[in-house]
Amino acid sequence: QVQLVESGGGLVQTGNSVRLSCAASGRLSSSAVMAWFRLPPGKEREFIARIRWSGDSTDYADSVKGRFTISRDNAKNTMYLQMDNLNSQDTAVYYCAASEFHNGVYSLRSQIAYPYWGQGTQVTVSS
């Protein structure tokens, strides 16, 4: 069982930056994958980025590529999302998700690939 706790959200002005953290309880295996999703107001939850717990493999949604950076600190069991050059369309509740392994059945951009979820943290971008 993995428990996830996000932090770092809040109110930020357009063009500014914020960093989200996701702390995982327990030790994640080298085959684990973690991801960020977001739920914009009035829309469906969408994939943002994912990272494998070992190696350098990352993936980003086109909407955030070049502005957001996903990273991890294995020693702290924590994943991060550095969000730069924010705009109003980035306003959403941000969720971290984890899977202890990927069996290849579902895309790692799909919510169903991740059995563990945090409670979410609100990011509001104001002009």
| Alpha-carbon separation of residue 52 from 41, 42, 49, 86, 119 (angstroms) | 28, 30, 11, 25, 21
pLDDT at residue 25, rounded to an integer: 93
pLDDT higher than threshold 90 for residue 105? no
Q: What angle do CA 46, 47, 53 make, to 5 degrees?
A: 150
At 47-91, the pLDDT tens digits run 999 999 998 899 999 999 999 999 999 999 999 999 999 999 999
Long-range pairs, 37-40, Cβ under 8 A, ≥24: 37/94, 37/95, 37/96, 37/97, 37/111, 38/90, 38/92, 38/93, 38/94, 38/95, 38/123, 39/92, 39/93, 39/95, 39/120, 40/89, 40/91, 40/92
- Give 127's pLDDT tier (boundaries 50, 70, 90): confident
Contact 98, 2 (CB under 8 A): yes
